Amino acid sequence: MIAVIQRVSSSSVTINGSVKGQIGNGLMVLLGIEDVDNQEDIDWLSKKIVNLRIFPDENGVMNRSVLDVVGDILLISQFTLHASTKKGNRPSYIKAAKPDFAIPMYEKFIHALENELGRPIQTGEFGADMKVALVNDGPVTIIIDSKNRV
């Protein structure tokens, strides 16, 4: 699993002209799932995201997590994170998981994040054409691949 995590002061996702999810202060997370991902990836990555210390403390040092600042999370599925651009100019998405595998994994990831955060999160809709808006705070953007944890 690959996650692109952005510290935001606000973020929203709109589908067919209607806002599906929105948050204020917190994290906007883009999540890419591949066929080799499993429950261990879900558990490790959800815990890592919720405990990632990228919010400023009273001294302006990034030392607080989304838990510490009681921030929210907006999770968006994004298969294009697994794009391969090695050959030619048209990306290949061969590593991205197919919907029959990815949808249940995405739903498990939602529940894992909610369990770690201790409350519901906001989401997009798997496979939908989404318009994502955000105000990146900092800017702070972190990329984490669950296969590179060692």
Q: What is the pLDDT of residues 79-135, one digit of tens each?
A: 999 888 988 899 999 889 999 999 999 999 999 999 999 999 999 999 999 999 999
Residues 52 and 11: beta-carbon distance below 8 Å = no
* CATH code linked to domain 2-148: 3.50.80.10
Its pTM stands at 0.95
Is position 80 annotated as part of the catalytic site?
Answer: yes
Q: Which of 24, 110, 114, 109 minimizes the C-alpha distance to 71?
A: 24
Quick one: pLDDT band at residue 149, thresholds 50, 70, 90? confident
Domain spans in the chain, listed from the N-terminal domain onward: 2-148
Per annotation, catalytic residue among 6, 39, 55, 80 = 80
Per annotation, catalytic residue among 6, 55, 78, 126 = 78
Is position 6 annotated as part of the catalytic site?
Answer: no
Per annotation, catalytic residue among 79, 122, 123, 126 = 79
Is position 79 annotated as part of the catalytic site?
Answer: yes
H helical segments located in the chain = 39-51, 99-117
Q: What is the pLDDT of residue 107?
A: 97
